[in-house]
């Protein structure tokens, strides 16, 4: 009887010790990113085509809805303005699905918090081409459609927002990088201040995977 009780206690402690992941973004949060570094020759040599942006190009995203779906994932609706679009007009409405558990990480723009725990657990279960350092960075070794090796490194802030996404060649030289601009966005009776770094080539909606990718290569 005592042994059974001890096992029950140990199992209870194990369950209670599991991290509870939450999403750190809210409705009406706004993010603006700007291309700050681009090596055109490396981009074309790696991906076999020219980008649809240049240094100084910007994209904009506003969170329109955030819904918890059965405690398993978040259904997020964003309004998005691509490079060269008129921000005075309505943007395109796109859905994003983010799974709650780290084992289901899929190169997200936003990840659940606490970020350090999420990243550590994700790396333990992801394929070997993924790696991490610094507690908030997830890197991935990849190969382009024309067979050229490159790396993508994504860094996330304390709220799980993608703050840096950098594409690197095999010599760790930057192919393309984008930084977020500093913005004050009205939010109710207060203001949301967002500043961060993030890379993007082109945000596209992948309907098959129900997610947005920040680089079109």
pLDDT at 17 exceeding the cut of 60: no
- CA–CA dist 148, 17 (Å, integer): 43
pLDDT at 192 exceeding the cut of 80: no
| Per-residue pLDDT reduced to its tens digit, 195-210 | 333 333 333 333 334 4
Q: Among all chains, which residue has been given the structure tokens 């008129």?
A: 86
Q: 94-112: b or e for each residue (b if 16 or more CB lie within 10 Å)?
A: bebebbbebeebebbbbbb
What Rg, from alpha-carbon coordinates, does the chain have?
Answer: 19
pLDDT at 193 exceeding the cut of 70: no
The percent helix, strand, coil of the chain (3-state, each to 5) is 20, 40, 40
- Global confidence as pTM: 0.77
- CA–CA dist 14, 12 (Å, integer): 5
| Per-residue pLDDT reduced to its tens digit, 85-132 | 999 999 999 999 999 999 999 999 899 999 999 999 999 999 999 999
- Which DSSP string corresponds to 15-40? HHHSPPPB----TT-EEEEEEEEE-H
Domain boundaries, given as residue ranges, for the chain: 2-213
């Amino acid at each position: 009887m005592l042994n059974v009780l001890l096992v029950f206690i140990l199992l209870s402690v194990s369950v209670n010790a599991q991290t509870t992941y939450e999403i750190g973004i809210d409705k009406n949060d706004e993010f603006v990113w700007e291309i700050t570094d681009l090596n055109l020759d490396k981009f074309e040599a790696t991906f076999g085509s020219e980008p649809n942006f240049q240094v100084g190009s910007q994209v904009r995203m506003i969170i329109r809805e955030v819904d918890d779906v059965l405690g398993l994932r978040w259904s997020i609706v964003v309004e998005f303005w691509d490079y060269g679009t008129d921000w005075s007009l309505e943007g395109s409405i796109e859905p994003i699905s983010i799974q709650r558990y780290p084992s289901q990480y899929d190169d997200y723009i936003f990840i659940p918090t606490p970020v350090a725990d999420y990243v550590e657990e994700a790396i333990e279960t992801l394929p070997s081409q993924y790696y991490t350092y610094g507690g908030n960075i997830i890197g991935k070794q990849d190969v382009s459609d024309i067979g050229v090796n490159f790396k993508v490194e994504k860094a996330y802030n304390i709220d799980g927002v993608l703050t840096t996404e950098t594409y690197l060649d095999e010599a760790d030289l930057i192919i393309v990088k984008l930084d977020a601009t500093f913005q004050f966005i009205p939010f109710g009776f207060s203001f949301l201040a967002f500043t961060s770094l993030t890379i993007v080539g082109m945000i596209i909606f992948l309907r098959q995977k129900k997610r947005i990718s920040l680089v079109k290569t």
